């Protein structure tokens, strides 16, 4: 099944009431590791692409300013229930994260946790939202990816027919999504399910100016 915004709005309307209680705890370690690698500092601005129910908001250190984007109004409603967060200035925006919905070069960090395998065009989301990084900024990705080398098995293709019904694609490769994007991989770590999930820290290649 092909991923579409319309289907995602439907399936995440169903997920929203149960997401935190059903799968939220499973992903917590990966989310924490991603935030640890990002090393957010007080005064920094961070963009959370596919903020969902706001699980990553709870991991933000005090003193940061955050903007979260999500297509699903139902998921965002759950995120709003977590606000306000003392010491953190949070803005939530409903919109299509395959497009840049914020100003270019306006954020110190961008978070792509569990979104690049969900959104219909993960490459567009990665490319467009990295434009939000200031020169010298960094980004982090926590998600499930196939290895960048090797064949996609028939079994995996068949399994993907089922997984897309639940709102996620299990056949994507990070290398394919990042092709042509001006970004460097600082570290790439295996995470959950024996490395099926990965945590990838990215650094911006744009030079800073004095």
Least confident of 71-75, 76-80, 139-143, 145-149: 145-149
- How high is the pLDDT of residue 205? 75
Residue 1 pLDDT class (50, 70, 90 cuts) = confident
The answer to the question of residue 208 being in a domain is: no
The answer to the question of residue 209 being in a domain is: no
Count the neighbouring beta carbons within 10 Å of the beta carbon of residue 78.
19
For the chain, the residue count is: 210
Question: Stretch 122-131: mean pLDDT, rounded?
Answer: 97
Q: Are strands 133-144 and 197-204 parallel, antiparallel or unpaired?
A: antiparallel
The domain in which residue 165 lies consists of 5-203
pTM of the model: 0.94
- How high is the pLDDT of residue 209? 42
- Residue 148 is given by DSSP the state S
Could you give the CA distance from residue 22 to residue 164 in angstroms, rounded to a whole number?
18
Q: What is the mean pLDDT of the chain?
A: 95
List pLDDT tens digits, range 42-63. Answer: 999 999 999 999 999 999 999 9
Question: Stretch 86-99: mean pLDDT, rounded?
Answer: 97
Whether the per-residue pLDDT at 208 is higher than 50: the answer is no
Torsion sign over Cα 76, 13, 124, 137: positive
The count of structural domains within the chain is 1
- How high is the pLDDT of residue 183? 93
Whether the per-residue pLDDT at 112 is higher than 90: the answer is yes
Least confident of 19-23, 79-83, 202-206: 202-206
Q: Are strands 133-144 and 65-70 parallel, antiparallel or unpaired?
A: unpaired
- Per the listing, tokens 């299990």 go with 170
Could you give the CA distance from residue 172 to residue 137 in angstroms, rounded to a whole number?
25
- How high is the pLDDT of residue 210? 38
Q: How far is CA 56 from CA 7, 29, 171, in A?
A: 24, 11, 24
Question: Stretch 63-87: mean pLDDT, rounded?
Answer: 98
Query: What's the CATH number where 38 sits?
Result: 3.40.50.150
The answer to the question of residue 210 being in a domain is: no
């Amino acid at each position: 099944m092909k991923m579409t915004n319309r289907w995602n709005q439907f399936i995440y309307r169903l997920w929203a009431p149960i997401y935190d209680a059903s799968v939220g705890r499973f992903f917590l370690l990966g989310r924490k590791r991603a935030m640890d690698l990002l090393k957010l500092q007080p005064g920094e601005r961070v963009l959370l692409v596919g903020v969902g129910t706001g699980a990553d908001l709870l991991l933000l250190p005090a003193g940061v300013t955050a903007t979260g984007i999500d297509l699903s109004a139902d998921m965002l409603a759950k995120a709003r229930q977590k606000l306000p967060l003392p010491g953190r200035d949070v803005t939530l925006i409903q919109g299509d994260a395959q497009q840049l919905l914020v100003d270019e070069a306006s954020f110190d960090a961008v978070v792509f946790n569990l979104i690049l395998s969900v959104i219909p065009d993960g490459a567009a989301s990665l490319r467009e939202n990295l434009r939000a990084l200031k020169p010298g900024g960094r980004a982090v990705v926590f998600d499930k990816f196939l290895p960048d080398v090797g064949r996609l098995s028939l079994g995996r293709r068949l399994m993907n027919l089922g997984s897309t019904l639940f709102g996620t694609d299990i056949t994507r490769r990070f290398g394919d999504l990042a092709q042509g994007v001006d970004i460097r991989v600082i570290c790439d770590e295996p995470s959950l399910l024996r490395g099926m999930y990965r945590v990838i820290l990215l650094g911006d290649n744009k030079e800073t100016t004095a």
